[in-house]
Amino acid sequence: MSAAVGADNEAVSACNQPSSNACVRYIGDIMDVSTGLETEIKKTGRPYPKSLEQIGKMRDAQTEYEANGCQGDITAEDPNSQCHGVVFVTVRATILDTTLLTDEVGM
C-alpha cells in the first residue's frame, strides 16, 4: 500500500486538488491494492470486519468521485464540492495497515 500512497503520503496531498490527474492515478493505484487485499482476506475465511468495512467505505468514496465527474472539473476544487470526499480514500489507505492489525488482535 505504501507504494500506492506514495512517499510521504503524496496521495493525500494530490487529492487536496480532486480534479488533478495525479489524484486520479493515486486513487486507482490505492483501490487496486485495496481490492486485491480484500480478495486475499476473503480467501482466508478469517474475519477482518473493520478492515473490510474500511475498504468498502473507500470504494464508496471512489464511486462517488467517479459519479460526480471530478477529474478535470475545476469546480471539484471547491472545498464544499462532493469531490473532496475522495480524500477519504487516501487517508484511509494510510491507516489500513493499523486497521488490519486491530482486526488480527481481536481474533
**For the chain, domain boundaries:** 2-105
Environment class of residue 31 by beta-carbon count within 10 Å: exposed (0-12), middle (13-18) or buried (19+)? buried
pLDDT digits (tens, 9 = 90+) for 40-93: 999 999 989 999 999 999 999 899 999 999 999 999 989 888 888 888 888 888
Closest CA to 57 of 87, 77, 22: 87
Name the least confident of 7-16, 25-34, 69-78. Answer: 7-16
Residues 6+ apart with CB under 8 A from 70: 18, 19, 76, 81, 83, 86
Place of cell 480514500: 89
